[in-house]
Amino acid sequence: MPVDMSVTQQEDLPRASSQECSPGVLRRTVEDFMVEEILPLEPTGDGEHVLLQIRKINQTTADVRRSLARALGVRTNDIGYLGLKDKRSIASQWLSVRHGQSVELPRELPMKILRQCRHSRKLRPSFGCTNRFTIVLRNVDPQRVHAESMRVVPNYFGEQRFGRDGTNVNQALKWVKNGKPPISRFLKSLYISAMRSALFNQILAKRVRDGNWCNPIEGDVVTDTTPTGPLWGRGRSLAIGEAYAIEQQIIDAHPLLADALEWVGLQQERRSLVVCAVDLKVQVERDEARVQFALPSGCYATSVLRECFAYTSGED
DSSP element (H, E) containing 190: helix 185-210
Answer yes or no: do 59 and 13 share one domain: no
Is residue 110 a part of any domain in this protein?
A: yes
Question: In total, how many domains does the chain have?
Answer: 2
The answer to whether 22 and 145 are in contact (CB under 8 A) is yes
Least confident of 10-19, 142-151, 199-208: 10-19
**Dihedral pair phi/psi, residue 79, rounded to 5°:** -105, 110
SS3 113: strand
Q: Beta strands of the chain (E only): which ranges?
A: 22-26, 33-38, 49-57, 79-81, 90-98, 111-119, 130-138, 152-154, 222-223, 226-231, 269-272, 274-276, 278-285, 288-296, 309-313
pLDDT of 313 over the 70 cut: yes
Using a cut of 0.95, tell me whether the model's pTM lies above it. Answer: no
Residue 304 lies in a domain: no
Q: Are residues 146 and 264 in the same domain?
A: yes
Residue 164 has pLDDT above 90, yes or no: no
Same domain as 146, residue 250: yes
d(CA 37, CA 54): 10
| 226-231 vs 222-223, strand pairing mode | antiparallel
Within a domain: 133: no
Whether 78 is catalytic: no
Residue 284 located in a structural domain: no
Within 13 Å of residue 158, how many CA atoms lie on the same side as its CB?
Answer: 17
pLDDT tens for 87-103 read 999 999 999 999 888 88
**Same domain for 90 and 171?**
no
The CATH number covering residue 96 comes to: 3.30.2350.20
Residue 306 domain-assigned? no
- Asked if 64 and 163 sit in the same domain, the reply is no
Pair (124, 245) in one structural domain: no
Residues 266 and 150 in one domain: yes
User: Are both 163 and 261 inside the same structural domain?
Assistant: yes
Q: Using the Cα atoms of residue 36, residue 84, residue 166 and residue 276 in order, give the sign of their dihedral.
A: negative
- According to the model, what pLDDT value does residue 176 have? 85
Q: Which domain holds residue 269?
A: 5-28+141-276
Higher pLDDT, 190 or 3: 190
Distance CA 2, CA 6 (A): 11
Whether 8 shows a pLDDT value over 70: the answer reads no
From the candidates 12, 86, 279, 287, give the one annotated as an active-site residue. Answer: 86
User: Whole-angstrom Cα distance, residue 80 to residue 98?
Assistant: 9
Query: Which positions ≥6 away from 148 have C-beta within 8 Å?
Result: none
Where is 171: in which H helix or E strand?
helix 168-177
**What is the domain-level CATH number for residue 152?**
3.30.2340.10
The pLDDT score that the predictor gives to residue 6 is: 57
Residue 22: CA count within 13 A, CB half-sphere: 23
Which residues, in sequence order, are CB contacts of 141 under 8 Å at separation 6+? 22, 23, 287
- Assess if residue 154 is contained within a domain: yes
